[in-house]
Amino acid sequence: MSLAVLHSRALAGMDAPEVTVEVHLAGGLPSFTIVGLPETEVKESRDRVRAALVNAHFEFPARRLTVNLAPADLPKESGRFDLPIALGILAASGQLPANRLDEYEFAGELSLTGALRPIRGGLAMTYKAHSRGRAFVLPRASAAEASLMRDAKILPANSLLEVCAHLAQKESLQPYIGEAAISAVFEYPDLADVRGQAQAKRALEIAAAGGHSLLLLCTNVCTTISIH
């Protein structure tokens, strides 16, 4: 096939709007164009992706290559689109099966060797991917942050080759299982253990119940403490 469509995410504050990555191969003089309001980091992905594919022993197609990041009116920044662009090129050129691409969302910056580098916004992107019922493929270094989204299917990878092996059903990526959060249990003194001081305890109870400020005067050390 000469067209591949993948799913990724941008970042807009706390939101992670969906970005559709469309990769098309056509005849003509070899070229590599990225459209869809890409910022400088995204434009530079052309060189990172080309080197990563060659160093991972894939063929970079000598054809007219167009990558569209939709929607066109949403600014795209950072190197997180390297991974979906590289996978789209492989799928459009027939070097990678494209039948499973719709099951996942992808984000990751590529090194020139094909290794995956960490990205920002892993949690926000995973939350949105989970709400769409898709698994999220991202660099292993970003998996811990993404795992804060409970019940989401997170597939961390160390390199482009690992992601390709998963999509080709040769070696599956294992879902990330974060360490269980340990709830700290604090033991505080009980006001009921204080003997006497009925008026002081009553004042504390009233202040706490009403959310009022309280001024404590410790005469033994001549210190005044203000509690808000």
Question: What are the backbone angles phi and psi of residue 4, rounded to the nearest 5°?
Answer: -130, 140
pLDDT at position 213 is 77
- pLDDT value at 136 more than 80: yes
pLDDT at position 183 is 44
Cis before residue 71, ω within 30 degrees of 0?
yes
DSSP string over 98-153:
-TTGGGEEE--EEPTTSBEE--S-HHHHHHHHHHTT-EEEEEGGGHHHHTTSTT--
60, two tokens:
């970079």
pLDDT tens readout for residues 151-202: 999 999 999 999 999 999 999 999 998 764 444 455 667 777 777 888 888 8
Domains annotated on the chain, with CATH: 3-167 (3.30.230.10), 191-227 (no CATH)
- CB contact at 8 A, 149 and 123: yes
pLDDT tens readout for residues 82-116: 999 999 999 999 999 999 999 999 999 999 999 99
pLDDT at position 209 is 84
pLDDT tens readout for residues 183-192: 445 566 777 7
DSSP character at residue 63: S
Q: Which neighbouring-strand residues pair with 3? A: 24
Residues of the chain with pLDDT > 90, as a percent, come to 75
Amino acid 166 reads: H
pLDDT at position 99 is 94
